[in-house]
Chain A
């Protein structure tokens, strides 16, 4: 059974388009995260939700909007995609903030 799943695995799109990435976890965790990992491999936190409530919102352009319909799901919608948005986006979950995190397989986004 997959613990943290993301769809799609690959996303290739044109500049200016809007796209969404979906994440689901079946671990019963309360906290979910979105990370961005660029070509230099640095893992940067974008958002964190605890029980459907936003608790971390790092300096991220307003074009990025997370949505958590329930505590098992955290989706990421990106408007007006730019070249600099090309990266791998990881979803993760944990039992609580500061605890060990479990990562999804990642979504490789390429903006042309």
Chain B
């Protein structure tokens, strides 16, 4: 079956350092979405990438979709304590199902 793996599973960074999480799918994805879940909260949509090689930026966050549309990355520049949370990637599985990756839990040390 489809698998979406994220690495690393956990990441601790000093405030101000950069952070990157990688998402790898066993199958080609028509699109990929990224979500953020704060501790004690629920997943919140961040962005969707559709095109091969697409790069999108949201302030300090940079999202990339691989050329083969099987991998993606999220890079945060100069992390802040507000970036703390778990970041999930998600891709379509069939017509009516979104398959979530395993998530990367980010801790930012002030």
Q: Do A and B bind each other?
A: no
Q: Which residues of A line the B interface, CB within 8 A?
A: none
